[in-house]
Amino acid sequence: MIRKAHIDDPPAIAEIINRFAARELMLPRALNEIYENLRDFFLCEEDGRILGCTALHVTWEGLGEIRSLAVLEGAQRRGIGTKLVGACLEEARQLGMRRVFVLTYVREFFLPLGFRDCPKEELPHKIWTECLKCPKFPNCDEEAMIIDLLDAQ
């Protein structure tokens, strides 16, 4: 079941995200940061257990970012990540966003979902404030991808 995060979910969200962050596959998230951005998060829950998460973050006029997409290893390849991204894109449309981007190491996952490669320079400078927290800054090796929601209806 895909659902919005609840107030009791941040510890489970942090555990999933930081498991992947420890392997430098994504940015770590502090528990307080997750609480502060709780309304951004969608979760996949099955039998009371959180199997995956992601967040849609408003970054600029008409622009959002999908962040912190993670699915537990034992639950991967079941369509959970696709459903989580779909929930973000649906909410982005409801909010009136025109474009949504992602910074990723797994571009092959996002291509069939309608995302295309995007030069990082095309994204507003405002989004890079998050990158200052990254241990790989300024030598980012993630790829930027974007979807135009008006084209992907």
Q: What Rg value do the Cα atoms of the chain yield, rounded? A: 15
**For residue 135, is it within any domain?**
yes
**For residue 6, is it within any domain?**
yes
> For residue 52, what are the domain limits?
2-148
Residue with structure tokens 């969200």?
A: 13
**pLDDT band at 151, cuts 50/70/90?**
confident
**Complete DSSP assignment for 55-88:** EEEEEETTEEEEEEEEE-GGGTTSSHHHHHHHHH
Q: Above pLDDT 70, what percent of the chain?
A: 88
Higher per-residue pLDDT: 135 or 23: 23
CATH of the domain at 44: 3.40.630.30
Residue with structure tokens 């849609």?
A: 56
Averaged pLDDT for residues 53-81: 95
Count of domains for the chain: 1
**For residue 31, is it within any domain?**
yes
**For residue 139, is it within any domain?**
yes
Entry pTM: 0.90
Strands annotated E in 99-142: 99-104, 116-117
pLDDT digits (tens, 9 = 90+) for 1-41: 999 999 999 999 999 999 999 998 888 899 999 999 999 99
52 has pLDDT over 70: yes
82 has pLDDT over 60: yes
**For residue 153, is it within any domain?**
no
**For residue 80, is it within any domain?**
yes
- 144 and 120 Cβ atoms separated by less than 8 Å: yes
